[in-house]
Amino acid sequence: MNNDNKAKFAFGMVGLGTMGRNLLLNMADNGFAVTGYDKSEKMLQFFEEEGKEHNLKGFADINQFVESLQSPRTIILLVPAGAIVDSVITELQPLLDEGDIIIDSGNSHFTDTSRRSLELKDKGIHFFGMGISGGEEGARFGPSMMPGGDKQAYAVVKDMLEAVSAKVNGDPCVTYIGPGASGHFVKMTHNGIEYAIMQLLAEAYEILKNGLNCNNQQIQQVFESWNNGRLQSFLMEITKDVFLFKDVKTGNLLVDEIKDEAKSKGTGKWTSQVAMDVETPIPTIDAAVSSRNLSKLKSLRVELEEVYGPSTKIEANEDFINDLEEAFYFAMATAYAQGMHLLWQASKQFEYELNLAEIAKIWRGGCIIRATFLEDIYQAYITNPDLQHLYGDAGIQAKIKQSIKGTRNVVSSSINAGIAIPALASALTYFDTLKTGRMPSNLTQAQRDFFGAHTFERIDSEGVFHANWNDKNL
């Protein structure tokens, strides 16, 4: 199909739900000619009402939508991940020419992005996956964006993406991530870190409420105080505000009226799964994923509490809140460290050529895990671009050492009181394991060789060995 001379739109969006609509409005605010396509007349109506300042119009006919775009056409998809993305691509493909561009901006699994990229490359269509973080407000006023894949296609949209992204110190929170499905891989890892920090906040809440018997006002004041210091972050900011929000129906704080079952859309699970595949431990993220699943076992939890009894109060002195701040800092830093280590390992294994400093840089604004600590991460990778693990950075090491004593007090006190702290405890155990020069894994390998002849290596000789463990004369 040839684009006619009447084409006027530089960018088109498939999917005019909240995220797609807000991103288009953001693009229009920055002077770009945009349009959208959606099968829902309701979504089209919302788009045109909200975009009336720019006289924005959308299409319910996909042929008219494609014909309205300038060549080479650039089409952004913001539709639910999975089969719907494939369905949209199948619908678009016959209408496109060689050189046209498709950008998948949903939370697609990175393996799907790899497959789609290869399939469309064979047909002469440029494709890349782009993770977007920041929710609907970020999409509207400046998200963090993680585009990866076809570098030639990225060059076409670079100026637009930099214009609509969040800014930190004037720097746009978007960069070319790398080849293949690297953009979606980085976004998936971002979401894994997000799971971990949200779980850590929930555990801090549990300790304050049930361990220390704090009321909601006191809890709010703790989170507000933390947000005014080194723990400042988007997630801390919204958490302190949660404890101020009244329920219209009851007049109570809304958080107290919400059922204690946490849902998920799968990106945290994907992070854990791929970490297992590339043999990179991320136990704090894993614990956060498992905790959401545990929360769904509501009836069983209630039944077992009646059998075994509830948690007890923590016997704490006046310094315990300070220790809790230290523990949160330590575990938060560990969650980021696990995510960055996963990116380091995946970059080698999948040849993504990731620049970890640039990734930390674009996460400083716009995204859900933006935090003051990301500046420390950014500086760590600027100082040493080949840094394998954040625990190895001198600046972060000093802060970790200062936080250990308080962390151990909080973890041991919580466990003694029967308070579940899976993410906090896993962070400490992960740290203790990584700083152990000789683990007891020699015993594990001996057992494997005993029952399965899996062999072992020796500390005094090169090579691979097997012992006759059933030799009773030994």
User: Which among 194, 325, 326, 358 is annotated as catalytic?
Assistant: 194
* CA–CA gap between residue 83 and residue 78 (Å, rounded): 13
* CA–CA gap between residue 11 and residue 171 (Å, rounded): 23
- Name the phi and psi angles at 220, rounded to 5: -60, -40
- Name the phi and psi angles at 438, rounded to 5: -130, 105
| Residue showing tokens 């704490």 | 316
- Cα 15 from chain centre: 22
Which residues, listed in sequence order, are joined to residue 148 by a DSSP beta bridge?
A: 129
For the question of residue 261 being annotated catalytic, the response is: no
Q: What is the largest CA-CA distance in the chain?
A: 91
- Name the phi and psi angles at 192, rounded to 5: -65, -45
* CA–CA gap between residue 126 and residue 138 (Å, rounded): 26
For the question of residue 194 being annotated catalytic, the response is: yes
Q: Could you tell me where the DSSP H helices lie in 207-355?
A: 216-227, 234-242, 267-277, 283-295, 298-308, 320-350
User: Which among 48, 50, 187, 318 is annotated as catalytic?
Assistant: 187
Name the token pair of 198.
């949200």
**345 and 431 in contact (C-beta within 8 Å)?**
no
- Cα 232 from chain centre: 18
Which residues, listed in sequence order, are joined to residue 85 by a DSSP beta bridge?
A: none
- Name the phi and psi angles at 21, rounded to 5: -65, -45
* CA–CA gap between residue 62 and residue 296 (Å, rounded): 41
**411 and 391 in contact (C-beta within 8 Å)?**
no
**105 and 76 in contact (C-beta within 8 Å)?**
yes
Torsion of CA 250, 255, 256, 257, to 10 degrees: 50
Tell me which DSSP letter residue 39 carries. S
Name the token pair of 100.
């046209």
* CA–CA gap between residue 38 and residue 337 (Å, rounded): 40
* CA–CA gap between residue 423 and residue 420 (Å, rounded): 9
Name the token pair of 72.
């080479």
* CA–CA gap between residue 143 and residue 25 (Å, rounded): 13
**428 and 411 in contact (C-beta within 8 Å)?**
yes
Catalytic residues: 187, 194
